[in-house]
Structure 1
């Protein structure tokens, strides 16, 4: 478990993280989302003791990570796949990590096979593709068989097969009871992988909840109704407290269920040609709820 309590980090006059409080629980994949510059990487580095908080605390299974002498046995992390000596082989790189953490040498071959790099284990890392480096970084995180795992943008450079493999890996690790905390910009993958979300913007907490609850907070969810009597049905739905948008014979209503739409239409003898439920989109909710936290917004396309 990762527990963050009123965590703040300042660099001179700049506040990168402000009063963050959240918990990442075991047995779940928790996605860590936020616009560029929101403080995600700074937060992850404070979890690992690489940056010291200005105020507040962060603990892993009840203790600061820095207090653990054999860290890879407790937390595995991938922060930047490029931070590896290019002249070493994957085997040599992981063997050095294993020795420094008193991990059996046989574990190196196990994790290289697990991530699909057994055939390239003795090649120089400098010749690896970005996707191969990501796999090596994941192997390093798994090396100590830790109960807590942190990944910062682990899908960069992976092909579709690799993305699917990582998704299944994270879910299997969580199913074993581990704490899995994943930062990513790929909303579609978070939608398929994460159980819970921690969302921040400009260093402050926006949400810490299930992915279903977060997606439902966006305005993209609703009921779409096609009817020749749009004006009458829209008036009834508005009285019910729904928000209704009309586009020809198509109404989109939020704040009301499809069942209630059907009941109102039946009671008032309104013909319906089509009723569909539009599921909430994680991406739409994220864009809406972080709109005021975007530091570098693109210009409007003309």
Structure 2
């Protein structure tokens, strides 16, 4: 049974204002401000150690900020009675009692939050775990535990949903299911906030991005706008003389990566515009069968725009 948001339960906003968290002499989150709005999937990105999980924990009242505020519908989350009716969250799929069944686990959450027990069966059906409802969670795969965590987040039919790396351990069918679920929940008017390190999946799922590095805000904008900020768009070239063209373009200062296909080979070229590539090929008698400028991918833009915020590079501390 699909989860449907009842009237009056949508339109809730997450607001983070000058949020700061210090651990001893280290600042994990540094005066961070952004807003997560309903009706869209908002992706939360940043290099490892950027402060994403710490930020999510402060939004959910699990960690106390050193400074600043994080509110849901205008008040801190821990002030909301029966929290699962207001915010559903999955931060760590492994944090469940392995000796309990899925039904027992969700029933305990339902009782403590004043949620009708019929919702347990509904959400287990929704996430595809109905047949495993009475199995011990300790025997679940990681993908099944992720589904159970999503079921727990959906249990209270909340207007706000927060997920930290929810597709780790999912098979391709599960990834596609999660993508469709999140987009449907957002289309119902809910606020969906999703952290993931998988750029391709975020590109296919999110509408808006919040990007942080070393605890500070880098960007808060649409996926398309963020990708367009990259200064290194690539040019796709298809030619039967790939080796000759690669040598020529490399000598001219371009970076060339093969994208092989049957017949003529495809090359991804960065560092030279399409008109310059075409002119060089013409001057040297190299046949081109395709010459197309491509905007940067989300991954390319992310790597470029967060380069100064990466804590470790190939084992070298920064």
The TM-score range, normalised by the shorter chain, is 0.7 to 0.9
- The two structures, once aligned, show a CA RMSD in angstroms of 2.8
Give the Cα separation in 1 of the matches to 2:33 and 2:291: 41
Q: CA deviation at 1:62?
A: 1.2
Give the Cα separation in 2 of the matches to 1:48 and 1:42: 10
Give the Cα separation in 1 of the matches to 2:147 and 2:269: 44
The match for 1:277 is 293
Contact kept, 8 Å, 1:223 with 1:254, in 2: the verdict is: no
Contact kept, 8 Å, 2:52 with 2:195, in 1: the verdict is: yes
The match for 1:89 is 101
Contact kept, 8 Å, 1:220 with 1:278, in 2: the verdict is: no
Q: Cα–Cα, structure 1 residues 131 and 224, in superposed 2: closer, same or farther, change >3 Å?
A: closer
Asked whether 1:75 is paired with 2:95, we answer no
The match for 1:148 is 160
Give the Cα separation in 2 of the matches to 1:187 and 1:62: 31
Equivalent positions of 1:1-302 (< 5 A) are: 1-223=13-235, 246=254, 273=288, 274-299=290-315
Tell me, what secondary structure is at the counterpart of 2:116? coil
Give the Cα separation in 2 of the matches to 1:115 and 1:150: 16
Structure 2: stretches of 5+ with no match in the other structure:
1-12, 240-244, 246-251, 257-266, 280-284
Give the Cα separation in 1 of the matches to 2:54 and 2:16: 13
The match for 1:237 is none
Structure 1: stretches of 5+ with no match in the other structure:
231-243, 266-270
Give the Cα separation in 2 of the matches to 1:284 and 1:113: 38
Aligned residues: 279
Contact kept, 8 Å, 2:234 with 2:268, in 1: the verdict is: no
Residues 186-227 of structure 1: per-residue CA shift (max 9 Å, x gap): 111001000011111111111111111111112332455799
Q: CA deviation at 1:251?
A: 11
Give the Cα separation in 2 of the matches to 1:74 and 1:291: 36
Q: CA deviation at 1:296?
A: 2.1
Give the Cα separation in 2 of the matches to 1:216 and 1:57: 31
